[in-house]
Each structure stands twice: as C-alpha cells, then as structure tokens.
C-alpha cells in the first residue's frame, strides 16, 4: 500500500512538472505549435494577400467559430495593406463585413474583442517606429542609411512613422501576433523572399518558433500551393543558418 501511494505521488509530481513546463512555455512562445486561432489567422491573411475571396469567406467563418475576435481579424486585415496594398485589404474587409452580416442574420453573436487604446500622439513617430523596429530585429540602428532607405529616404520615414509606429503601436495585437500576420501575408506572395526572410527573423525574435513557421508552411501549401510552401521553408532555413553564424 505504501509503495502504491509513493508511486501515485511520483506520478502526480511528474504531471505537475509537465503542466508547469507547458505553462512556462506558453508564456514565452504561445506554445510551440500553432493553435486554432493562429491557424485560422494564417489562412485568413494568406488568402487575403492573394485575393481569393471565396476561400477567404470560409476561413473567416472558421476563424470566428474558433474564437478569434472581430477586432483581431480587423486589425490583421488593416495591417494587410502595408504589405500588399489597399485593394487587397479593402476587398478582404468588405468580404469580412459580408460574413459578419450573414452570421448576424443567422442569429450568431460573435466576440467583438477589445478596441485599440488611444496612441500617445505627443511622441515623435519616427523615434517610436525606430525603437519598435530595433526591438523586432534585436539590432541597434546606427550609422548612415544604406540601401533603399538611403536611395529613397522617404520610404525610411514612411516605414518608421506609419508601419512601425502607427500600426505596430496599436495594442489589439502584440508584436509577436503582428509579425505572425506579416509572415503569413508574405508567405502567400510571390517574389518577396527578402522581406519574408527579414520578417521570419523578426518573428523568431518575438517568440515565434521554428516549428510554428514549419506548420505555417503546411497551411500555405494547403491554401496557396506547394511552391510557395517551399519558399517559406527555404527562407526559414536561411534565417537559421545566418543565426548559427552570428551565434
């Protein structure tokens, strides 16, 4: 009897240890696997990026059914325009409006979610955007501008003040979620490998895992195609190799 009690105590201790490890892991990365919310968000962003409205409507319903809030999806669809333009963003938003109207007509009440908090407009937006970008890349930006930012300085200003200040400062989605949205968008688009690679690197810095990117590639294969999925895998491998050299 005593041995049986000791065995049960040991099993309980192991169970509690595993639970605590899972909780700690979830706090740091949101799990090493994509949950239902993340899977739906990936599909929504990818299909919006390529303009497949019919499949998008299906995934919007799936996302809402899985518990994504209306405002979370709105934020992702607004952010979409910074990477693939107003037409794709507006078409996706209009599709979302139609889905919500149909669900309301069917008696479905969807979770609205929290509204974005007011942004402190007194701060210099360029500095805010620069600081945000440095957090995402894990690198301090110093020295003269290079590349496209030096050739066309206006793009540097727009990226800092609008994308990384105006959009990334909105708190409905955190940095990790916004990077996941961005990676999902770029993963669906052709001929944007440099940007995809850069954002995969930023995503890993915010807590997205290599395993989650691999799972995303499977979603891209299903929703977009095998060729795009291979591009995602190759981009991830390049980032891993670069990080190994740095470390």
DSSP codes, 114-183: PPPPPP-TTS-HHHHHHHHHHHHHT----SS--HHHHHSHHHHHHIIIIIIIIITT-TTS-HHHHHHHHH
d(CA 74, CA 181): 12
Mean pLDDT by 10 residues, the chain (247 residues): 50 42 40 90 98 98 98 98 97 98 98 91 88 96 94 97 95 97 98 98 97 98 98 98 86
pLDDT at 26: 40
pLDDT at 6: 52
pLDDT at 84: 96
Q: What is the pTM of this model?
A: 0.86
Exposure b/e, 91-114, CB count within 10 A at least 16 = b = bbbebbeebbeebeeeeeebeeee
């Amino acid at each position: 009897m005593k041995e049986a009690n000791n065995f049960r105590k040991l099993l309980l201790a192991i169970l509690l240890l595993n639970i605590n490890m899972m909780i700690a892991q979830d706090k740091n990365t949101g799990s090493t696997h994509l949950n239902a919310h993340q899977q739906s968000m990936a599909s929504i962003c990818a299909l919006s990026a390529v303009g497949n409205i019919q499949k998008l409507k299906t995934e919007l319903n799936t996302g809402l059914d899985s518990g994504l809030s209306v405002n979370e999806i709105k934020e992702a669809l607004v952010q979409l325009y910074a990477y693939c333009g107003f037409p794709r963003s507006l078409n996706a938003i209009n599709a979302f409006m139609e889905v919500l109207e149909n669900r309301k007509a069917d008696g479905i009440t969807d979770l609205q979610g929290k509204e974005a908090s007011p942004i402190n407009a007194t701060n210099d937006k360029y500095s805010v955007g620069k600081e945000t970008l440095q957090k995402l890349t894990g690198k301090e930006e110093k020295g003269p501008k290079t590349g496209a930012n030096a050739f066309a300085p206006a793009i540097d200003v727009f990226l800092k003040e609008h994308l990384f200040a105006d959009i990334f400062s909105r708190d409905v989605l955190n940095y990790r979620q916004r990077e996941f949205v961005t990676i999902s968008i770029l993963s669906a688009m052709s001929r944007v490998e440099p940007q995809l690679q850069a954002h995969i690197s930023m995503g890993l810095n915010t807590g997205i895992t290599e395993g989650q990117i691999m799972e995303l590639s499977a979603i891209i294969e299903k929703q977009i195609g095998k060729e795009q999925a291979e591009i995602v895998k190759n981009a991830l491998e390049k980032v891993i190799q670069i990080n190994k050299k740095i470390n």
